[in-house]
Structure formats: C-alpha cells, structure tokens
Amino acid sequence: MRTNIVHPGADELTYEIREIVAVGEELQALGVPICWENVGDPVAKGQVVPEWIKEIVSDLTKNDNSSYGYSPTRGVRATREFIADARNAEGGEQITPDDILFFNGLGDAIQTSFLYLHPRARILGPNPAYPTHSSAEAAHADAPHITYNLIPENGWQPDLLDIRNKVHYNPGISGILIINPDNPTGTVYSEETLRGIVQIAREYDLFMMSDEIYSQIVYGGEMIPLSKVLDGVPGIAMKGLSKEVPWPGARCGWIEVYNKDKDPVFARYIKTLVDAKMLEVCSTTLPQKALPKILGDSRYPAHLASVAEGYRKKSEIFSEVFRGVDVVIANKPLGAFYAAVVFKDGVLRHDQTLPIADIRVRTRIESLVPGMPNDKRFVYYLMASTGITVVPLSGMNSHREGFRLTLLEPDVAKFRHILETIVQSIQAYTTS
Ligand SMILES: Cc1ncc(COP(=O)(O)O)c(C=O)c1O
C-alpha cells in the first residue's frame, strides 16, 4: 500500500472466545468430538425459546408492517418509554426515553462507546476482562487496556485499593467499567463494593460504565443495578436481549444514561454517540418492537426464574465437582452463566501434557503450544485430549492463569460428566 492503511490499534483486537474455534474445527476434522464450552450463546447450546415468545415475534412479522421499517435513531419511542417507566419504578436515578439509545446488540454499543471517546481518555476495566470491552478500549487508545484485579480468593470481588491506585496514578482514566453479573467470573458485586467504586468515580470526577446484560440471570446474592448506587455520578448502564430472552441473533442492546445533566463534557460525549447512530440511521427494529411485549408479559418473570434456577443447579454441581481440587480456585458462580477456574500460582509449567491418542492430533497440538501462555497450553491439551473447549483466562487480559467454562449445557448428566472430565484432566496434567 502507498500508505499504511492499518489502524494503529489493530493489534489490540483479539477475541479468544471465537479464535479457539478455528483450532477446534481443525481437530474436529481430524476426528476429535469437540464439545463447545467457549461461546456464551444459550440458543447454540440448546436452550429453546418459549413458544409464547416466538408467537409474539411471529405476530409482529405478520401483522406489524412497521417492524420491517427503520426506527427512530434513538430507538422505537414506545419501547424507550416502556424501559424508562420500568427503570423509574425501581427507584434510583430517574431517566426519560431520551436517555436511552438502542444499538445492534450490546457489542455494537461497546464498540461505538469506545470508538467515540477522546483517544486519550481511558476506561479502567476488570481483569479478567470480557474481550469485547478490553479490545475495543485498547484499540481506541492504541495502548494496552488498563485493568483492576478481581480477586479469586475473595469471591472475585474487585480490589478497591487497586482501582484507587490505578485511577490516582493514571490521569487519563476518565471512567470505570464494571460487568455485573460478571463475564467471565460469574460474580455479582455486593452493594458495598459498588458504592466503593462509585465513591472513587465521584472523588476523581469520572463516569461509570456498567455492563448489565446478565442483570436478569442471578441465582446467588442480589444484583444491584448501577442506577441505584450512582447518587448523582454520571453513568451508563448497558443492557440487551441476547442472554435473558435469549435472543442473541436479534442484535438488540441499549444504553441507559444517568445524570447526563450533571456534567457538560459527559453530555457532549453522549450526544456524540447519538450523532454516530444517526449517521448509521438506526438499530434493528423488530426486536425493539417485541421488547415491551416480551418483557412486559405476565409469563416473563416465571420464564426468567426457571432459567435462573437451571443455572443455580448447575452452579451447585460445579461447586461440588471442583470441591477438594486443591490446585485450583473455583468459586461458585452467582450470576450470568460462566464459571472461571484459576490455577494456583506455580501449578502450571510449560512442559506438562495430557495423553493424545491420535498421532496427527498430537503432532498438530505440539506444533501450536510452544511459547503459549501456560493456561492456553492447558486448554489446548484439554481440547485435543477430551474435545472439551474452554477459554483460557490469558485470552481475557487476566493476571491469573485459568480458564472459563459455561453453565449452558442443558443435559445435566452431560454437564456433570464434562466437569468431571475437566477435573480428571487437571489432575493428570498437573502431575504429568
Ligand atoms: C458481558 C457482555 N457484554 C456484552 C455482550 C455482547 O452482547 P450482544 O449479543 O448484545 O452483542 C456479551 C456477550 O457475550 C457479554 O458477555
């Protein structure tokens, strides 16, 4: 090329959750029966969307011609009114429909929110991180994502002192990101923790960002929304339909903006996001039309409760199967549908292996692992040896070695078998 056409932040765009799929598919072609435990798509893992929800969507496609049209830039007005009313009824910060902006999935909201931040403004995010946030933030700044530690020894609650120090010594930090309930750890932040983080944002004149896409999937502890703890601090909550309905293929997510009027620079930043969406015209109309009908239906709370109960049972099984495995820390998840397993320091080395019967598979894996982070090496051996595909925490900006699995497998006996196989593999690998 006559000039360099590559974005300076291009190398920061990595998504281990899907990158591992290419290797999995290669092994599959060699005959390894792959069990996908990497991607957080409940539909792909077999969760069936209730018939009454399908009827709502089908009725719209048949009888509401406007569901085929563009929607207003911010989103369908009646839907934003429905969301604002629901939020205001919860107490906490009050919003109007104009404080809501729809996106094509929360992934789009995340990309846009980071893309239009001032290039020198940084958002401090959790570690381990959800790669869509950490990659987009790093790419916008053309620098590695700055993170605060979640502490596995303390149920994955964030290290408030670390947050304070990072904010204090990095004057570029303009906002703090939390994911609540968290991906990848499954933790749900306590009110005390949330208030502690908001207090730091208040002291240093920052804004808060809270990814609440899993807010309706909680089965341990109480999920406190950002709107209830801000007390005047500017903030954005990010929500979506992908996980709770579940309807990830709808590509429908939105942001709720709190306390825009409290800071003119924050208000100007939010206007940029609306202007950017205006250039794009609008987001997907059909799921926005369906949203009040689904979330407002009298059957929805029971649907959410039964889905959460399924995850709660699997979180118990997870806890039971990992109990006594002393080389790892495996906190029982409280929300979302992930669990993160951390290897204790010094347990992993770069010469450990698992038996792989097929010589072609073994040769391929041995060609891939040199120079890899230790946890990714374990994940590759696990995949080649058992077919179980999980995500290494090193691919999620983690300072600790480990992996993330999902609680999505609908067949409980199979789920238990997967966990038992992982535990046997950990034991075999760490004693090899
Ligand atoms: C924490 C978190 N935020 C956002 C997203 C993206 O959701 P969407 O399907 O709405 O783009 C995901 C998807 O896995 C997620 O786990």
Phi-psi region of 125 (alpha: psi -120 to 50; beta: other; left: phi over 0): beta
C-alpha of 387 from chain center: 24
Question: Is residue 103 within a helix (H) or strand (E), and if so which, with residue range?
Answer: strand 100-104
C-beta of 213 in contact with ligand 1 (< 6 A)? yes
Does ligand 1 lie within 6 Å of residue 107's CB atom? yes
Contact 104, 283 (CB under 8 A): yes
Tokens of 288: 């926005």
- The b-or-e profile of 269-297 (16+ CB within 10 A means b, else e) is bbebbeeebeeeebbbbbbbbbbbbbbee
Q: For a ligand 1 pocket test, name from 114, 242, 288 the mutation site with the most ligand atoms within 8 angstroms of its C-beta.
A: 242
Residues 6+ apart with CB under 8 A from 145: 12, 125, 129, 133, 134, 135, 137, 138, 397
**Which residues touch 261 (CB under 8 Å, ≥6 apart)?**
267
Best of 36, 113, 213 to mutate for ligand 1, by most ligand atoms within 8 A of CB? 213
Using DSSP's 3-state secondary structure scheme, residue 57 falls into helix
Burial class (CB in 10 A: 0-12, 13-18, 19+), 431: exposed
Which residue, among 16, 44, 307, has the nearest Cα to 134 in the 3D structure?
16
**Distance from C-alpha of 176 to C-alpha of 238, rounded to nearest angstrom:** 13
Other C-beta atoms within 10 Å of 264: how many?
A: 9
Q: Which tokens in the block code for residue 44? A: 């792909």
Which residues 6+ apart lie within 8 Å of 231 measured at CB? 198, 202
Judge whether 343 and 328 are in contact, CB under 8 Å.
yes
Looking at the CA of residue 109, tell me the nearest atom of ligand 1.
Answer: 11
Per-residue pLDDT of the chain (432 residues; tens, 9 = 90+): 887 878 777 776 666 677 788 889 999 999 999 988 888 889 988 999 999 999 999 999 999 999 999 999 999 999 999 999 999 999 999 999 999 999 999 999 999 999 999 999 999 999 999 999 999 999 999 999 999 999 999 999 999 999 999 999 999 999 999 999 999 999 999 999 999 999 999 999 999 999 999 999 999 989 999 999 999 999 999 999 999 999 999 999 999 999 999 999 999 999 999 999 988 999 999 999 999 999 999 999 999 999 999 999 999 999 999 998 999 999 999 999 999 999 999 999 999 999 998 999 999 999 999 999 999 999 999 999 999 999 999 999 899 999 999 999 999 999 999 999 999 999 999 998
**Total-model pTM:** 0.95
Does the C-beta of 130 come closer than 6 Å to ligand 1?
yes
Q: Measured between alpha carbons, how far is 151 from 390 in angstroms, rounded to an integer?
A: 21
Read off the amino acid at residue 381.
Answer: Y
Residue with CA at minimum distance from ligand 1 atom 14: 40
C-alpha–C-alpha distance, residues 327 and 298, integer Å: 46
For ligand 1, the distance from its centroid to the CA atom of residue 335, given in whole angstroms, is 14
Find out whether 413 and 52 touch, Cβ atoms under 8 Å: no
Neighbours of 150 (CB within 10 A): 27
Tell me if 353 sits within 8 A of 372, measured CB to CB.
Answer: no
What are the domain boundaries of the chain?
10-47+301-430, 51-295
What is the 427 CA–ligand 1 centroid distance (Å)? 32
Which protein residue's CA is at the shortest distance from atom 1 of ligand 1?
A: 183
Integer-rounded Cα radius of gyration of the chain? 22
Ligand 1 close to Cβ of residue 212 (< 6 A): no
* CA 251 to centroid of ligand 1, rounded, Å: 10
| CATH architecture of structural domain 51-295 | 3-Layer(aba) Sandwich (3.40)
Ligand 1 within 6 A of CB of 403? no
Beta-carbon contacts of residue 141 (< 8 Å; ≥ 6 apart): 9, 119, 120, 121, 122, 172
Domain covering 10-47+301-430 in this structure, CATH number? 3.90.1150.10
* CB distance 211 to 176 below 8 Å: no
